[in-house]
Amino acid sequence: MTILAWSPQLSVNIAQFDDQHQKLIKLINDLGAAMSSGQGAQVISKTLRGVIDYTATHFAAEEKLMTAHGYPEFRQHKLEHDALVKQVLELRDKLERGNITVSIETMNFLRKWLTDHILKTDKKYGPFLNDKGIS
């Protein structure tokens, strides 16, 4: 099940982050595939943990470059990162307690959040960091 496909429209023109965004897309698609094939909650939970772990790594890398170069919208960007981490950790905790299952709505949430975040928020730092020699 393909939840989200990479396209050049999603590029922020920074190779490191484009690669990381593609990895996040793959992890979300892997989660969708596990869900659609009826794999057990353990597999789905492990895949969701992979999404969570990689998201934290990616966010830390973005935030490090933003602070190093004085990105003026860092505070708002960080708030968005923190909000997603909180939402996904709550989702994982509910899944692990057996209170919910990963559903198409969950997958749509992840797809929409990642797409919106890249297109509306991450795209803003691309030109700023490009001007600082980051590509």
16-131 belongs to CATH 1.20.120.50: yes
User: Going residue by residue through the chain (135 aa), what tens digit of pLDDT does each one get?
Assistant: 688 899 999 999 999 999 999 998 988 888 778 777 777 666 667 777 887 888 889 999 999 999 999 999 999 999 999 998 888 888 778 777 776 666 667 777 888 888 998 999 999 999 999 999 999
Q: What is the pTM of this model?
A: 0.84
* Cβ–Cβ < 8 Å for 14, 135: yes
